[in-house]
A and B are shown apart, each in its own frame.
Chain A
Amino acid sequence: MSETTITDHNGVIESFTVVHQEIAQSLIDPPYVLAEIRLNDGNCIRCVSTEELELSIGSEVSLTTRKLETGSGTRLGLVFALKCSRNTNE
């Protein structure tokens, strides 16, 4: 088994889908975006976003961690945001 270290949290959307189906035990409420992201360091990762995003394949995004309520505490999860929208929010 190999481990991969992410060295760059920025990348581009390779594909995405908007999930509308609720999943039992999931901490993410639909609708949300599930994306495959090619990071600038070459790694490929699946990640979600609950923001309303205007995405297209090739959109530049960045990863960040978010605290999610589990019912018995919090858990860190990796989410993504559009690079430009995150900058706007900042």
Chain B
Amino acid sequence: MSKVVILGGGLHPFGRYPEKSFRELTRVAISNCLDDAGVQFSAIQAAFCGRVYAPMGTGLEVITQFGETGIPIINIEQACSSSSTAFRQAVWAIEQGIYDLVLVVGFEKMERGPVEIAASDSYDLRMGQSLAPANYGLKSQIYMDRYGATAEQFAAVSVKSHANAKLNPYAQYRKEVTIQEVMESRMIATPITLLQCSPTSDGASAVILSSATKARQYRNTHGEVYVTGWACGTDSYGDDDSDELEPCVTRLSNELYERAAIGPEDIDVVQLHDAFAPAEIIRMEAMGLAPEGSGARFVSEGKTGIDGPVPINTDGGLISRGHPMGATGLAQIIEILRQLRQEAGPRQVQGAPKIGVCHNSGVGGINMHSFSR
């Protein structure tokens, strides 16, 4: 199988851009990506596009604004993990030798307000059981009951995320917040308050992947970053009866670590799907990044900060960088790319990080990837 290299990445800043079209958002992200990779669009052999709310076939529109070169353009919808799914499909295509230079794009424009995860007129929707933060609220209560964690410790995730986002020019919320401000923001589903929720956002992200052989044709002043492993899946029978809060994340983490021949102790920087603050704590434990029951303490002691031993969501994560659903997965990967290249500026993890991992979760499934420099 071919080794896969990330040649470059680019973003359109995340935020609210009601006046901008998908074409405008993606034009910026793809242009930045092509520049970063040193690749001409005409050389791209296939494009994979992740999005959720865009009309059918929008991938064709956003890709062909750079030229009608006749390449296959694949549209993928997988809720919050749409663009990491597009990324994985591209990785597989290169590994199998089908293509050796592929563009992956994620884009989104979202309405304000809570995201509906149940089908219209479904029982769950009618009975108030379909609110995403409530799902996390249920897990949070178990975590608090089991390990003695406090609501303030969950709030500390949001404080850390906002502090990191302040250092990220592409983030939606570049303003620090205090524990008190997080705790006093509007209650959504106990113990989760508004400032512990990822926002709805607009934005776009793009990455160019190549085979290691093809990568030699391009200038690479950044140092090569390889995709070293992947794992993907969904919940399975028995997960509901598990004592674990995130059994699927544990299962997929173990798959990823085995495939990449790494352990959690080898990971230098992490991007983790923090749609709601408690998720970061619960999932870091499921990934083996903190001992069971100690994740909340890890956060409140600063161990997950940029200068900590387990830096998580150095770009602000979903909560503060923003969460344009179709663009999020690639934005996570781009942050790992920047960190491994040591190009993250004021939010750079010190010590020349070599291994990074992404966890991206959606209603349609979980994708995890590992990377090395």
Chain A residues with a Cβ under 8 A of chain B: 14-21, 23-28, 30, 32, 34-36, 44, 46, 48, 57, 68, 70, 75, 77-78
Nearest residue (CB) in A for B121 is A25
Asked whether B128 lies within 8 Å of A48 as measured between CB atoms, the reply is yes
How many residues of chain B are within 8 Å of chain A by beta carbon? 32
Tell me whether B235 is interfacial, beta carbon within 8 Å: no
Across-interface contacts of A16 in B (CB, < 8 A): 138, 141
B186: interface (CB < 8 Å): yes
A78–B128 CA distance with the chains assembled, in angstroms = 11
A35 neighbours in B (Cβ, 8 Å): 138
Could you tell me if B139 and A15 are in contact, using CB atoms closer than 8 angstroms? yes
Which one of B187-195, B313-321, B357-365 is at the A interface? B187-195
Q: Is B125 an interface residue (CB 8 A)?
A: yes
Q: Which of B138, B189, B241 contacts A20 (CB 8 A)?
A: B189
A25 and B138 contacting across the interface, CB-CB below 8 Å: no
Q: Is the CB of B120 within 8 A of A19?
A: no
B126's nearest neighbour on chain A, judged by CB, is A27
Interface residues of B (CB under 8 A from A): 113-114, 116, 120-121, 123-131, 133-134, 137-142, 145, 186-192, 240-241
Determine whether the beta carbon of A27 is less than 8 Å from that of B138.
no
Q: A15-B138, A15-B141, A34-B134 are in contact. Are A21 and B114 (CB under 8 A)?
A: yes
Bound complex: CA A32 to CA B142 (Å)? 18
Q: Are A23 and B138 in contact (CB under 8 A)?
A: no
How far apart sit A68 and B35, CA to CA, in the bound complex (Å)? 58
Kindly state the separation between the CA atoms of A27 and B126 in the bound complex, as whole angstroms: 5
Given A23-B114, A24-B116, A57-B145: A17 touches B126 (CB 8 Å cut-off): no
* Shortest distance from the beta carbon of B179 to any chain A beta carbon, whole Å: 20
| Alpha-carbon distance A36/B140, docked complex (angstroms) | 12
| Pairwise interchain contact A26-B138, C-beta atoms closer than 8 A | no
CB-based contact B189/A28 at 8 Å: no
Q: Is the CB of A48 within 8 A of B186?
A: no
Chain A positions within 8 Å of B190 at CB level: 17-18, 20
A23 touches B125 (CB 8 A): yes
Q: Which residue of the partner chain, among A17, A20, A26, contacts B127 with CB atoms under 8 Å?
A: A26
Q: Are A23 and B130 in touch, CB under 8 angstroms?
A: yes
Give Cα A44 to B142, complex, Å.
15
Q: Known: A17-B189, A18-B190, A57-B145. Is A70-B126 also a contact (CB below 8 A)?
A: yes
Q: Least Cβ distance of B193 to chain A in Å?
A: 9
**Contact (Cβ within 8 A) A34 B189:** yes
Nearest-Cβ distance from residue B114 to partner chain A, whole angstroms:
6
Contacts of B191 in A (CB 8 A): 17
Of the A-B pairs whose beta carbons lie under 8 Å apart in the complex, a sample of 17, sorted by A's number, is A15-B138, A15-B139, A15-B142, A17-B192, A18-B190, A21-B131, A23-B114, A23-B116, A24-B113, A26-B127, A26-B128, A34-B128, A34-B189, A36-B138, A44-B240, A77-B123, A77-B127
